[in-house]
Structure formats: C-alpha cells, structure tokens
C-alpha cells in the first residue's frame, strides 16, 4: 500500500507533490478556521440579557454581562462602553461599523486561499494528465509501433492519477470554503443585529 502511494507520487511529480502540499495546507486551514469560527455565532442569550439591562438603565451591569467571546459580543460591548463614556450615538455608530468590518475581515482571512485552492487544484491535475499523456504518446511514437499496449495503458493510468489527485484536493477545499463563508455571513448578521438593537434601545431611552 505504501509503495503504491509512493509510486503514484513519484510518477506524477512534481505536480503530485504540489497537490500533496496543497492538501496539507487545505486541511490545516480548515482546522484553524473551524477553531476560530466555532464561537462566532454564539452569545445570543447573553446579548439579549445585556440589552435588557441596558434598556432598564443598568448600563454597568449590561457591560459586565457580555462575555465578549463572539465578534457580536465584542462589537456590542465596545458600543456600550463608548455610549457610557458620553460619545454621541452617531459617532459610535461609525466606530461600530468600522469594528464590525474588522471582525468580518478577520473571520474571512484564509477563505480566499481555500477558494483559490479549490479552483487551481483540478487545473493542476489536468495539467499533469496532459503532460503524462503527451509523454506516453511520445514514447509510443519513438517505439515506432513496437510498444506494448499494457505499457502504454499503464502510462495513461498514471497520467490520469493527477486529475484524480486534483479533484481529491479541490472537493474538500470547496466544501470547507463554502461552509465557513456561510458561518462568517451568519456572524456578520449577528453583529449587524446587535449594533442595530443597541442603537435603537439607546435612541428610545434618550
């Protein structure tokens, strides 16, 4: 089994080695982003409780009630602290928009790379296949018709492995990028909702 995998790699080099490196990078990126984004949509209950305290006039209690684990928590807490310090809501709204954009940018980091890997991996695999096919038919041409058909078939089989390798890398990268992007979008909506509720409650209390 191990020797077969090594043969697949060496026969398809350097493209198979490049695809192997991309597969390791893809796995690492997906694991890192899952860990980063796991709490990104949490904290709804805590924010609701904090907003209730804020509406009742207990601003210190509202700020203390936020654990600041998720992006929406951190943005809302920053907004509450700014409003508590006496900054006008219009100015706070602009600051919160900037903070929200920074949080979304941090959550989105690495996802473009996953998208890129999902796009280029099949192309690299196809390139490897084309190169392998060219080499196989070149060998057949040099043999002047005396080549063994099984040898030619073996060369084509090895050439097609790079296409399979490219797809094996691309499919998890595409799935990971799409699912993680959806989580970032959900977190961004929670940030927007938290800011909107905070500013609305503050405006009604003035």
Domain positions in the chain are: 2-38+111-191, 44-107
Question: What pLDDT, on the 0 to 100 scale, is given for residue 36?
Answer: 93
> Which residues fall within 8 angstroms of residue 109, CB to CB, at 6 or more apart?
none
- Give, rounded to a whole angstrom, the gap between the first and last alpha carbons of the chain: 72
Count of beta carbons in the 10 Å neighbourhood of residue 189: 12
Q: How far apart are CA 154 and CA 157, in angstroms?
A: 5
pLDDT band at 153 (very low <50, low <70, confident <90, very high): low
Structure tokens at 136: 């196989």
Q: How far apart are CA 119 and CA 138, in angstroms?
A: 29
Helix (H) or strand (E) holding 169: helix 149-205
Of the two residues 119 and 3, the one the predictor is more confident about is 119
pTM of the model: 0.82
Rounded to an integer, what is the distance from CA 19 to the centroid of its chain? 19
Residues 33-73 pLDDT 10s: 999 999 999 989 999 999 999 999 899 999 999 888 899 99
């Amino acid at each position: 089994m191990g020797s077969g995998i090594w043969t697949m790699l060496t026969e398809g080099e350097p493209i198979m080695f490049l695809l192997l490196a991309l597969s390791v990078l893809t796995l690492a990126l997906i694991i890192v982003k899952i860990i980063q984004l796991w709490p990104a949509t949490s904290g709804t209950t805590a924010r609701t409780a904090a907003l209730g305290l804020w509406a009742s006039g207990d601003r210190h209690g509202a700020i203390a009630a936020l654990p600041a684990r998720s992006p929406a928590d951190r943005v809302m807490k920053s907004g509450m602290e700014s409003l508590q310090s006496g900054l006008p809501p219009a100015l706070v709204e602009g600051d919160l928009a900037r903070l929200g954009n920074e949080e979304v940018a941090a959550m989105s980091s690495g996802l473009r790379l996953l998208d890129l890997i999902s796009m280029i991996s099949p192309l690299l695999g196809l390139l490897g296949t084309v190169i392998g096919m060219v080499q196989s038919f070149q060998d057949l041409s040099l043999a002047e018709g005396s080549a063994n058909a099984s040898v030619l078939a073996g060369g084509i089989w090895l050439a097609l492995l790079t296409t399979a390798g490219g797809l094996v890398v691309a499919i998890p990268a595409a799935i990971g990028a799409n699912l993680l992007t959806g989580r970032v979008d959900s977190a961004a909506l929670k940030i927007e909702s938290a800011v909107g509720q905070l500013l609305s409650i503050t405006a009604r209390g003035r």
